């Protein structure tokens, strides 16, 4: 029987166990006293563990960095395509406004067909569709009677009570006689409060201040379709009313169906007119035949505009492989054609962000 080298105590177990016991004591003593073999084994294990943790940390950092770089690259690409689409749309408006002027000056060399509601352009950097909307396609917000405004609201999908309330609120806003004490209390109760103008609308955006008019009613919105689950666009007051709009007759080729309903056309007459003008713009003879079939309300129809038009362009940029991007950008301009002897085109309003059906 041997004795312990550590404490000098007698060993009472089997000799084989005693040998293993002594070997463990020697190993710990060698490590404690700096024996190279034990120290090397310990360091190798610690280094391996540190390398594994460092590799996991670097992998997490690399994954996070790659995700961030990819997201920023996609956002930069989208922003660049948006800027390109903007300039394509702006160029299309410039071209359409010049071509319409040329067509009016030289009817025998028209670039845009008479009565056309839209024109398309294909540029090396993208394509654009320009809607040509004369202000005579809209009703004049300062002169339309409340009955027309009521029919317009119903045609835009409002319930009759709400349509009537908005029509009366518009009439109150523009009526100087409504400035009597006690009138306009609904506006004074708002925060911040204000008084209605009781004067003519100077800009169509003033309608946003009128009681009951919401952004969805003013700009338009999307509603569920009647036959399937798809969404259908619904026009807003901005598409139907204007401070430069028509006081009596509206353009048959470009007036919105809600405007046609507001002037008194029946649903069947509106459907027939919309279907007919999709084929080609109506000529004077076409309009005369339609007016003979549509009844007395068709006398509120005319062809063409005066001197103020809205050009609304929706553009898609072209990608490097020649395909058109899925991104779309819509801009609009309200243009007034001036008399000869002055600058022929005067831009009244420019909309960097417009909405189109």
DSSP 268-299: HHHHHHHHHHHHS---HHHHHHHHHHH-GGGG
50-58, long-range: CB within 8 Å, 24+ apart, which pairs? none
Residue 102 sits in the same domain as residue 57: no
| Number of Cβ within a 10 Å radius of residue 163 | 21
Question: What pLDDT score was predicted for residue 188?
Answer: 75
Between the alpha carbon of residue 139 and those of residues 23, 35, 51, the distances in Å are 105, 100, 76
Residues 34, 128, single domain; the answer is no
Q: Are 313 and 330 in contact (CB under 8 A)?
A: yes
Both structure tokens of 87: 């300039």
Are the C-beta atoms of residues 251 and 136 closer than 8 Å to each other?
yes
Considering the domain architecture, whether residues 6 and 118 belong to the same structural domain is answered as no
Are 200 and 329 found together in one domain? yes
Same-domain status, 55 and 147: no
310 DSSP β-pair partners: 133, 334
Instruction: Please indicate, yes or no, whether residues 309 and 166 belong to a single structural domain of this protein.
Output: yes
79 belongs to a structural domain: no
Residue 156 lies in a domain: yes
314 contacts 85 by C-beta, under 8 angstroms = no
Q: What pLDDT does 219 receive?
A: 92
How confident is the model at residue 3, as a pLDDT?
A: 46
Same domain (yes/no): 25, 136: no
Instruction: Let me know whether 104 and 139 are in one domain.
Output: yes
Q: What is the pTM of this model?
A: 0.76
Which residue in this structure is represented by tokens 């930069």? 76
How many domains are there within the chain?
2
The DSSP symbol for 24 reads H
Q: What is the largest CA-CA distance in the chain?
A: 131
204 within domain boundaries: yes
Round to whole Å and give the CA distance between 2 and 262.
116
> Which positions ≥6 away from 43 have C-beta within 8 Å?
none
Pair 160, 305 in one domain = yes
DSSP-assigned letter for residue 11: P
Could you list the residue range(s) of the whole structural domain that residue 48 is in?
Answer: 1-62
Q: Domain for residue 325, yes or no?
A: yes
Is there a domain that residue 119 lies in?
Answer: yes
Question: 221-224 and 231-234: which strand pairing?
Answer: antiparallel
**DSSP letter at 238?**
G
**Residue 21 pLDDT:** 53
> At 296, which CATH number?
1.10.40.60
Show the low-confidence residues of the chain (pLDDT under 50): 1-8, 31
**How far from each other are the two terminal CA atoms of the chain, in whole angstroms?**
102
Question: Quick one: DSSP state of residue 110?
Answer: -
pLDDT, residue 341, reads: 72
Please compute, for residue 348, the number of CA atoms within 13 A of its CA located in the half-sphere on the CB side. 17
């Amino acid at each position: 029987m041997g004795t312990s080298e550590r404490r000098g105590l007698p060993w009472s177990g089997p000799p084989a166990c005693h040998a293993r016991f002594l070997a463990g004591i020697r190993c710990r003593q060698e490590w404690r006293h700096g024996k190279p073999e034990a120290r090397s084994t310990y360091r190798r294990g610690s280094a391996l563990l540190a390398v594994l943790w460092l590799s996991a940390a670097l992998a997490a950092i690399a994954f996070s960095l790659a995700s961030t770089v990819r997201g920023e690259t996609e956002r930069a690409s989208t922003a660049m395509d948006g800027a390109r689409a903007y300039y394509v749309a702006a160029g299309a408006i410039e071209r359409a406004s010049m071509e319409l002027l040329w067509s009016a000056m030289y009817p025998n060399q028209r670039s845009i067909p008479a009565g056309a509601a839209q024109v398309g352009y294909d540029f090396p950097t993208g394509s654009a569709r320009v809607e040509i909307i004369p202000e005579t396609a809209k009703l004049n917000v300062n002169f339309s009677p409340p009955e027309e405004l009521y029919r317009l609201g119903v045609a835009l999908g409002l319930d009759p009570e709400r349509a009537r309330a908005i029509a009366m609120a518009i009439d109150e806003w523009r009526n100087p006689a409504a400035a009597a004490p006690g009138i306009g209390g609904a506006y004074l109760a708002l925060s911040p409060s204000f008084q209605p103008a009781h004067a003519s609308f100077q800009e169509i955006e003033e309608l946003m201040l009128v009681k009951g008019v919401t952004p969805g009613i003013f700009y338009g919105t999307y509603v569920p379709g009647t036959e399937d689950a798809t969404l259908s666009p619904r026009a807003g007051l901005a598409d139907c009313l204007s401070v430069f709009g028509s006081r009596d007759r509206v353009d048959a080729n470009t007036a919105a169906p809600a405007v046609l309903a507001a002037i008194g056309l029946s649903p069947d007459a509106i459907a027939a007119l919309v279907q007919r003008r999709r084929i080609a713009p109506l000529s004077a003879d076409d309009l005369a035949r339609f007016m003979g079939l549509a009844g007395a309300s068709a006398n509120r129809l005319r062809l063409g505009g005066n001197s103020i038009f809205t050009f609304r362009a929706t553009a898609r940029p072209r990608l490097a492989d020649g395909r058109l991007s899925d991104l779309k950008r819509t801009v609009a301009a309200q243009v007034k054609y001036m008399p000869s002897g002055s600058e022929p085109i005067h831009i009244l309003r420019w909309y960097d962000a417009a909405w189109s059906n």
